[in-house]
Structures are given as C-alpha cells and as structure tokens.
Amino acid sequence: MLLGDERAAVCDYARRMTADGLVVGTSGNVSMRVEDLVAVTPTGVAYESLAPEDIPVVDLYGATVDGSLRPTSELPMHLNVYREAVDPDGSAINAVVHTHSVHATAVSTVTDEVPPVHYILATIGPSVRVAAYATYGSTELAESMLAALDGRRGCLLANHGTVTYGADLSAAYHRARQLEWACQVWLLARSAGNPRLLPPAEIEHVVEKLRGYGQR
C-alpha cells in the first residue's frame, strides 16, 4: 500500500484527537507528508472506524494519487502549510494537525493574539496569532492561516480552532495539545485578573533551552 505506515499513523492520531478531547465527531483533521505526497484524513468519516486504506493520498496540489474517499474539506490549509510555510528553525514540515479544541477555540473568539502567558508557547513562537475568520475549507481561510503562521509553528483560527505543524506527527500533535493547555491557562488567568506576561528576551532564552531538551 502506498504510504502504508503514514496512513496508519494518520488513523492513530485522528483517534487520539477524539480521545484527548481535541475534536468532536468528524471535526478536525490530520496529515503526513512524504516528499511530494500527503496522507490526509477523509471528509466526514468517523475516526473510530478509520482504516489505513480509508486515508486518501494526494499530491501537493490536491490531486488524488491513491484511495477512494475524498480528502478533508480543509485540504487547502494542509497543502498551504506544506507548500508555503517555513519553520522558524528551517526544519522540515512533514505533519499538520487541525483541531477544534474547546479552550483554544474559545480564545479565538475574544482576541487577535495569545501573549506569552507561559513559556511553553515558545514551542510555537513568541506569541500565537489568531488568523482572520473565513469559511471552513476555503482558499481564503488557507491564506489567512498562512499569514498567521509567519514565524510560528501554530496559530488559532478565529471562531474555528487551531493548526499546528511539525517535523513529524508526534511533534505537530504535541504542539496542538500544548496550545490547548496554554489557552486554558490564559482563559483562567484572564477570569481572575490581568495575567503577568513573560518578556520577549525570556521567550528567546527558552527557545534556546528547548533546542537541547530531552534525550539526545
């Protein structure tokens, strides 16, 4: 099967999104890129029933290469990331995760930018922008998202959800969960008062520390 391992991974992470409360029903989507091919969740199919053969494979311009199901309606966003986005460190972008997580979506309705309320946001950028609203699945939304991603590894979509990317699905998914957690913290802090923010120099310092984080 073409991209068999990647299609299986897309199934696994789609189910994880549901289990972790990042999506409801068939909302949200996941993709993996291998060179000029992308394995991506299909539109309107319950994640618990997904099998690798249900995952469409498309090229970087959206033409179906393998699979009988139509890809997600948000395919323009995924392809815009792969074709146009640039990782701040110049790393490869091989995975995209789009969620409708509750706290992040709530935050997207009340602000244009999530400030550095916690150092974990440094995994995405100095702040998290909110892309201007556009109808789901539209090229306008894909362009709005791309502008919000400039210099960032993730963004919020106004009145919609989140997008994060990474060198692999693990990294992209980890950022989606961290972004949801940070948005929950920001909402709680805002409900209690005016949150203290970390200065830009500290975020830059954390970025450097994170480059050596974990086992090597």
Report, as residue numbers or ranges, the catalytic residues. 74
Give the C-alpha separation, 21 to 106, whole Å: 14
Which residue stretches of the chain are H helix? 4-19, 75-84, 102-108, 139-148, 169-192, 200-210
**C-alpha closest to that of 56 among 74, 45, 68:** 68
**C-alpha closest to that of 79 among 90, 64, 68:** 64
Give the C-alpha separation, 15 to 34, whole Å: 21
CB 77 within 8 A of CB 105: no
**C-alpha closest to that of 76 among 49, 58, 90:** 58
CA 29 to chain centre: 9
